[in-house]
Homo-oligomer: A and B are copies of this chain.
């Protein structure tokens, strides 16, 4: 015996979270037990509410509430001719914060990864094809996938798949990070930055 049973159980629940080891789980459980009972109930209710109220948008597979399409798909301010393909909803929020992209999204919910047994059928690709066939106004698809092995495999797969269907298929550019130091930049990125160089005007 180390802790009372309800505490041990709570620690085990925390351990199921990614990046939370034994020590962190203990720390979190102890901290939470030091809260007011009301605060703990608030936390638990937040969790249950999120689990019950959130569903996927039937168009783009972003999170949505209230049963219908998400607030991006239903917005009249978005450009319906451009669809940005992303791996997960987290990337959607990151892109939205740039205020650069005004089109719609399509969330794949993963990347092709044969090592993990994830193929095209495990992603929202059938749904993408279906969506493109229903919306002839879509004339550009932007592939905004991370330049990892899985991201590159998925970009390649989708490029080949969509080529016959969509006029313009683009991907995000490679290059130097803003505020970065050329001396600290890895050679591959630097090579890509040369390759993608633009004329000064």
User: Which residue numbers of A lie inside 8 Å of B, CB to CB?
Assistant: 1-7, 9-10, 12-13, 16-20, 24, 26-33, 37, 39-54, 63-65, 70-71, 88-90, 93, 96-97
Contact = CB atoms under 8 A, between A and B. Distances in A.
Contacts of A9: 46, 49-50
Most chain-B CB neighbours within 10 Å: which of A1, A6, A33, A96? A6
B19 A27 contact: yes
Nearest to A49: B6
Nearest to A31: B18
Given A2-B96, A90-B30, A43 B47 contact: yes
Contact of A48 (B16, B40, B63): B40
Chain A contact surface mostly: helix
Contacts of A27: 18-19, 90
Contacts of A4: 53-54, 63-65, 70-71
A1 B90 contact: no
A6 B44 contact: no
A87 to B, nearest CB: 12
A89 B30 contact: yes
Contacts of A43: 13, 16, 47
Contacts of A16: 39, 43
B90 A53 contact: no
Contacts of A17: 28, 31-32
29 contacts: A1-B96, A4-B53, A4-B54, A4-B63, A4-B64, A4-B65, A4-B70, A4-B71, A6-B46, A6-B65, A7-B54, A9-B46, A9-B49, A10-B49, A13-B47, A16-B43, A17-B32, A18-B28, A18-B31, A19-B24, A26-B90, A26-B93, A27-B90, A32-B47, A37-B51, A40-B47, A40-B51, A44-B44, A44-B47
